Homo-oligomer: A and B are copies of this chain.
Amino acid sequence: MLAVLKENIEKTLGRSVSDEVLHAVGDCMFRKTFDKKVLLAEEGQSCRYVYFVLEGSCYSYLIDAKGEKHAMQFALEGYWMSDLYSFFSNRKGIYTIETLEPCQMLLLNRQGFNRACDICPEIDRFFRLLIQNAFLALQYRLAKTNSEDAEARYLEFSQLHPNFIQRIPQYLIASYLGIKPQSLSRIRKEMVSKK
C-alpha cells in the first residue's frame, strides 16, 4: 500500500528512502475513503490535511468575484493534493477541493506533519520540495498562459498528461487552461481536421 507513496517520495527527493523512514511517515498518516463529489477542503476554511491519492481522482478550484469556478490542479493516483498555503500558514484557504471519483486517500494533518518532520529531516525536506515544485509549475503555467494560445496550451497539456485527458471532464480541462468549454471543443475539432 505504501509502495506508491515510496515511489513518489523517492522521485521527489531524488534518492532512495529506507523502509524505516517510509513506515515512520506512514504511521503519521491515516487512510480514508470518499465518495465522488465530496468536498475535501472549502474556501474560507483552514485546510487541515494534505491528501495523497491512492485511488480515484480529485481537483482543486477557486471561485472568482463573478462566482465562476477555475480549476487549479488535478490529482490522480500517486499525486498529492492540498491547499498548501492554508495548510502551512493555518489561515483560511482560497481553494475548494472536490473528489471527481470515489477515492482512497492517505491523510496527513498538521500534527502528523510535525511529527513526521521531527522523526526524519527527509520529510521536512520533502515537503519543502513539494512547495517549490508547485511554485515552479505555477510560474511555468503563468508564462505559458501569457505567451501561447489555447491550442498550444491544450496540446502541451494533453502530451504531458495523457491520463488526465482520459479521466477528467473536458469542461474542467478547459477551465484549467483558462478558456470556455465551447472553445476547447472547437480547438479539439480543429486539431482533428488538421491531422
Binding site for B on A (CB under 8 A): 62, 64-66, 68, 70, 72, 84-85, 88-89, 94, 128, 131-132, 134-136, 138-143, 145-148, 178
Q: Is the CB of B147 within 8 A of A66?
A: yes
Q: How far is the CB of A83 from chain B (nearest CB, A)?
A: 10
Query: A101–B181 Cα gap in the complex (Å)?
Result: 45
By a CB distance below 8 angstroms, the chain B residues around A136 are 85
Q: Is the CB of A72 within 8 A of B178?
A: no
Q: How far is the CB of A91 from chain B (nearest CB, A)?
A: 10
By a CB distance below 8 angstroms, the chain B residues around A143 are 62, 64, 70, 72
Copies in the complex: 2
By a CB distance below 8 angstroms, the chain B residues around A84 are 135
Q: Is the CB of A70 within 8 A of B147?
A: yes
Known: A64-B147, A89-B132, A147-B66. A72 touches B139 (CB 8 A): yes
Most buried by B among A66, A72, A139: A139
By a CB distance below 8 angstroms, the chain B residues around A131 are 131-132, 135
Name A142's contact: one of B85, B89, B134, B142 (CB within 8 Å). B142
Q: Is the CB of B147 within 8 A of A145?
A: no
Q: Is the CB of B139 within 8 A of A94?
A: yes
Query: A147–B146 Cα gap in the complex (Å)?
Result: 14
Q: Which residue of B lies closest to A139 (CB)?
A: B138
By a CB distance below 8 angstroms, the chain B residues around A140 are 94
By a CB distance below 8 angstroms, the chain B residues around A88 are 128, 132
Seed contacts A65-B148, A72-B143, A84-B135; 19 additional CB < 8 Å A-B pairs:
A62-B139, A64-B143, A64-B147, A68-B147, A70-B147, A72-B139, A85-B132, A88-B132, A94-B139, A128-B128, A131-B131, A131-B135, A135-B135, A138-B138, A138-B139, A138-B142, A141-B142, A142-B145, A145-B146
